[in-house]
Amino acid sequence: MKTRKLGNSSLEVSEIGLGCMGMSFGYGTISDKSEMITLIHKAVESGVTFFDTAEVYGPFINEELVGEALAPFRGEVVIATKFGFDTTGASALDSRPEHIRQVAEASLKRLKIDTIDLFYQHRVDPNVPIEDVAGAVKDLIREGKVKHFGLSEAGVQIIRRAHEVQPVTALQSEYSLWWREPEAEILPVLEELGIGFVPFSPLGKGFLTGKMDQNTTFNSKDFRSTVPRLAPENIKANMAFVDLVSAVAKRKNATPAQIALAWILTQKPWIIPIPGTTKLHRLTENLGASEVELTSDELLEINTASSKIAVQGERYSSGSAKLINR
């Protein structure tokens, strides 16, 4: 597995990471703990050194799982986690400095580590100035409890203001072949400031794997059941994206998922996607994208064809947009 650096920082990780949220949260089921530990160990054995979790996933149980699974590999892997929700109050955001500190202390214990490698603000809190948030993380970095500061789903001005107080190592936001909004304003600012980019949902919440169709149904507790663009009528229209990556995949002796991930890897050398999975064969498939080389002609084909496809449906329902980030 090749490695990449997150922007201008010293943080170097595998070019494909592992998003761990779905093992404990978001899809209506909690996967078997021993099976997930086996999967995480397989990821490490396959060269993955970048693992993503958050306090709110569960809440708490995903951090505990990741902490237990990665305990044998201390110093060999990078663990990213997140703060910013009031886990006692359903949906409220809370990035008050005193709360950030409380979350950091609790996350350190659950993850069984002495320092959090990358600490993201999970969502921008409109009630707390970003300068106060960045300052709180700066204090934690000074104390050795955190190494790097990250943001998630933040806009250009928030990124700039935070970066002035404490250099931002990475931004985590949704990005894939069928959600390219960050290209307009976000990616140029990240490049200017030397900030790495960590796309979540790089496979479009599973859609770009080609394993869904208009007959696909989701458990009512699966957050995808509320995603407008995954509604049956929209899936039918959006299948043009799957047809595109499938056609390229067939010629490359690859899978649609591998083409979708390989496409992301070609965009910038400081972009590190974190596809999630609970299945060993999907892990192997996703990591195989690292070996897929897309030519300039193939990239032109993908970009030209995808630009002509009108995506149907919003990426989130209005109620879940701030809560779910996979």
113 domain-assigned: yes
**Structural domain range at position 73:** 3-307
CA 27-29-30 angle, 5° bins: 115
Q: Would you say residue 155 has pLDDT above 60?
A: yes
Q: Give the CATH number of the domain where residue 91 resides.
A: 3.20.20.100
pLDDT, position 88: 86
| Cα gap 50→9, rounded to integer Å | 15
Given a cut of 70, is residue 292 above it in pLDDT?
yes
Per-chain mean pLDDT for the chain: 95
pLDDT number for residue 97: 98
Residue 89 pLDDT > 80, yes or no? no
| Total domains present in the chain | 1
| Structure confidence by residue, pLDDT tens digits, 238-260 | 999 999 999 999 999 999 999 99
| Exposure letters 162-184 (e unless 16+ CB within 10 A, then b) | bbebbbbbbbbbbbbbbbbebee
- The per-residue pLDDT for range 112-143, each reduced to its tens digit, is 999 999 999 999 999 999 999 999 999 999 99
User: How much is the pLDDT for 181?
Assistant: 96
**234: three-class secondary structure by DSSP:** helix
pLDDT band at residue 325, thresholds of 50, 70 and 90?
very low
312 lies in some domain:
no
pLDDT digits (tens, 9 = 90+) for 159-201: 999 999 999 999 999 999 999 999 999 999 999 999 999 999 9
Model pLDDT, residue 326: 39
Please give the positions annotated as active site.
57
Question: What was the pLDDT predicted at 324?
Answer: 46
**Is 316 among the domain residues?**
no
Cα 143 versus chain centre, distance: 27
**Is the distance from CB of 63 to CB of 54 less than 8 angstroms?**
yes
315 inside domain: no
321 within some domain = no
Give the neighbor-by-neighbor strand order of the sheet with 196-200. 18-19, 50-52, 78-83, 116-121, 146-152, 168-174, 196-200
